[in-house]
Structure 1
């Protein structure tokens, strides 16, 4: 910042004293106001001199490692993104394996977009890749000159002596790797590889060979040929399973994850990046609606709050989004949903309350379990040992409200199965929509005992004891998660679920008294 010239400022402020004295008092007053205003303007201008305006253009550029097969579409997307948000995106194109090796060696960059998800999985296994967002699919086909002058129509035609065949190397290019895996099943890869006149590093080099006449045929991705007007393709049944899923992965070592995820969401948005992918011949499906700062809405049973709140807050910060969460008794939440309030995702306290809104959430996933316990004051001064003791006339009992929360519904089922419902209910002085309310009343001494979840007691172990309910199977609740079929942000909600399933999150669930139910295979199916 440039220093202020104090001498010049003092001289300017002193003005010509003789002229000032000769003026009328009114004119002197006006002149002083003008001089002061000009002086202050000069000071503020000087203080701000040389200070560059803060704009998106000055932000650190994003670095994307991108498969050569996606060059044309990516340049189109980059132009739109930079124009819309002012942030530069630097892209390094090359073979997928080479790009992954570069990330592993340098631990640099923000995003990785290979030509096949197998490289994403390799990156995840090496802990190089964090979040993954699906984008599109490409199909392996045979590229030939327009009008197919060599009449290539089937696999055997590629092996003819007069056909010059070029392939992408399976050791560097995704398509070479995928085609080798598929054709090796029926021992068709080796004959084809032996017939090839050359192996190229990238799929674009393979297509270029056919374009310039250096080859008669080549196996490429269908989307690559979108920019080659002089080429067409032939689909072979042998290559039907040779397709690649394209996804973008956030590099785990990035120092700007929020910016990286912003661009990744742009790439995979149905009304932004996916429009470009479809225009360039890629096969697209689904995708979230685009929003600069999306707002995800989550309904969750109150008992789940201590298990998931920390994870949601961290997810919100990393993604640079807003998660609007509503915690309440599941009976109340179901009533709100039936009245028209439809969240993007619902985490229910028990499967019964998920079933009641099955039309909104058709694919729930069981995640955890929680069991009912009998809460008593520390040291159990009332000597309560079982459910039957709750029928004693000297007790004030609290339970969940049957129609407002899963806990109340399960409690009534447990009482009925135990044959004590009619005996215990006269002692019930409180029916609450949440277990937390019951715990608070226990802590204030308003209740002698309460039936609540083990997780409700987790934070009050210094004041309360928990007695397990024996031999009644329905006393255990299962908590399912589901994304709404009509959600605008199914992928975003899915990434939140991945974080809820993370090892650190599972540790929180365990500390809060839950049992993790979801196995690793089910977790992988929803990632």
Structure 2
């Protein structure tokens, strides 16, 4: 009895272990290793407060190297090490992307360029011209290494004021903090810094001038492309950029913040998508989950059914519709859709086209069994009826329609089993069944082409995360998948296709 009991108990423990292992097998996770961040010196004070809170909350270490933005980028290029890069201006991230050093980026905050002076402004500096006076000692951050120097040189060069300021400058420093330190100890009377930097300099104040009004730097954190630990890197990056974590610290330190995702150790993103899009996006979403260490709950169905679910109160973070009409029906939830791809209706028939079908009108042949999408349940059905009407064949074809389904895949299955002679479906539905089916194009009817838009819900707690997923959907690799599945890609512009 004891031996039997022990064997049963051991088997039970093993079974529980297997169940837990299988349950966690696909769960994205982080390794808990130390994250290495290259961070601009201008962000040192705020980043130290974020690091302290993060390490206490998760018992994970963050190693940070501070310095001028250009110097840090050069270090990344040479060393090929590290996980994250946070420069003082996102132009360095763009440069890093061009060099293949930076993958995705996450927006954080903004800093404004201002003139820093001692408290009380003893030299009465009120304008750019005052910096050119002989009795004013001016120091600036180097335009060749520091972000503030770079953006100031660019903006003042545009208005023809840089050369005179350059000549009046007594010295250049490596970082914006060094400029503030010179003014603090009296080694300089004024300098141009970021307003947020002065949060830790109570003895200094700043003057805003018109020439620098448009000179603000967007701060974003980028994931280094060579990192072997993207989930760890993005865990900390999401923490930095979360509205209820890192952004609170940025606001407290005088940075200008807006937006930001809610914090979650492992966010769960909800995506509704038309069924026809599944083969085009499923692999991309799975790869995104693994890289980010997050969960994406996707629901694929006919868009009519998805719209009904959303109107009944189910609100996903993002919606990828089969056609613009079914995005328009929930415009109040998704106010800024972006057209992504196009798909066209075709007539699908058995291989070799034994029924001799050449056009829509042929679907009205006596005794033909035709399948179409359900008008109320999916975009495909709605567009099919419009196409029939525009082609002037709706009355003739509908008596032959024996099946109306919410998805094109169901029509393909019935064609393969021989229960249908023809079906009107998307070209993408035929992509995986070319050895069994032929596709006949529908000529001369514009409404037979569907446009697939993507949008993020205005109430989503994870707009940045959803946007990064969209960037992956728009990647070159993803576009190749769309093309292989029979979709035509829309030209979205460089803002989302430069990954």
TM-score by structure 2 length?
0.93
Question: d(CA) in 2 for partners of 1:149 and 1:306?
Answer: 68
Residue aligning to 2:15: none
Residue aligning to 2:354: 381
Q: 2:100 aligns with which of 127, 132, 147?
A: 127
SS in 1 for 2:334: coil
SS in 2 for 1:413: helix
Question: d(CA) in 2 for partners of 1:452 and 1:136?
Answer: 47
Q: Is 2:33–2:232's contact at 8 Å kept on the other side of the alignment?
A: no
Question: d(CA) in 2 for partners of 1:138 and 1:423?
Answer: 66
Counterpart mapping for 1:73-472 below 5 A: 73-472=46-445
Q: Is 1:164–1:216's contact at 8 Å kept on the other side of the alignment?
A: yes
Question: d(CA) in 1 for partners of 2:358 and 2:215?
Answer: 63
SS in 2 for 1:147: coil
Residue aligning to 1:60: 33
Q: 1:480 aligns with which of 436, 449, 453?
A: 453
C-alpha deviation, 1:522, in angstroms: 5.5
Question: d(CA) in 1 for partners of 2:176 and 2:493?
Answer: 35
Structure 1 residues 278 and 364: alpha-carbon distance in aligned structure 2, compared to 1, 3 A threshold: same
Residue aligning to 1:48: none
Question: d(CA) in 2 for partners of 1:153 and 1:76?
Answer: 33
Question: d(CA) in 1 for partners of 2:233 and 2:495?
Answer: 28
C-alpha deviation, 1:242, in angstroms: 1.0
C-alpha deviation, 1:428, in angstroms: 0.3
**Which is higher, the Rg of structure 1 or of structure 2?**
1
TM-score by structure 1 length?
0.88
1:495 counterpart = 2:474: no
Question: d(CA) in 1 for partners of 2:53 and 2:417?
Answer: 60
Q: Which of structures 1 and 2 has the larger relative contact order (alpha carbons within 8 angstroms, sep 6+)? A: 2
C-alpha deviation, 1:61, in angstroms: 1.3
Q: Is 2:106–2:237's contact at 8 Å kept on the other side of the alignment?
A: yes
* Unaligned runs of at least 5 residues, structure 1: 1-55
C-alpha deviation, 1:521, in angstroms: 3.5
C-alpha deviation, 1:125, in angstroms: 0.2
1:383-438 per-position Cα deviation (integer Å, ceiling 9, x unaligned) = 11110010011210000000100000000000001110000000000000000110
SS in 2 for 1:218: strand
C-alpha deviation, 1:59, in angstroms: 4.1
SS in 2 for 1:259: helix
Q: Is 2:475–2:497's contact at 8 Å kept on the other side of the alignment?
A: no
Question: d(CA) in 1 for partners of 2:478 and 2:139?
Answer: 49
Q: Is 2:474–2:497's contact at 8 Å kept on the other side of the alignment?
A: no
Structure 1 residues 470 and 58: alpha-carbon distance in aligned structure 2, compared to 1, 3 A threshold: closer
**RMSD (Å) for aligned C-alpha atoms:** 1.3
Question: d(CA) in 2 for partners of 1:278 and 1:304?
Answer: 40
Residue aligning to 2:20: none
1:125-182 per-position Cα deviation (integer Å, ceiling 9, x unaligned) = 0010001000000000011110111100111111111011110010000000000000
1:437-459 per-position Cα deviation (integer Å, ceiling 9, x unaligned) = 10111111111110000000101
Structure 1 residues 490 and 58: alpha-carbon distance in aligned structure 2, compared to 1, 3 A threshold: closer
SS in 2 for 1:284: coil
C-alpha deviation, 1:78, in angstroms: 0.3
Question: d(CA) in 1 for partners of 2:494 and 2:266?
Answer: 32
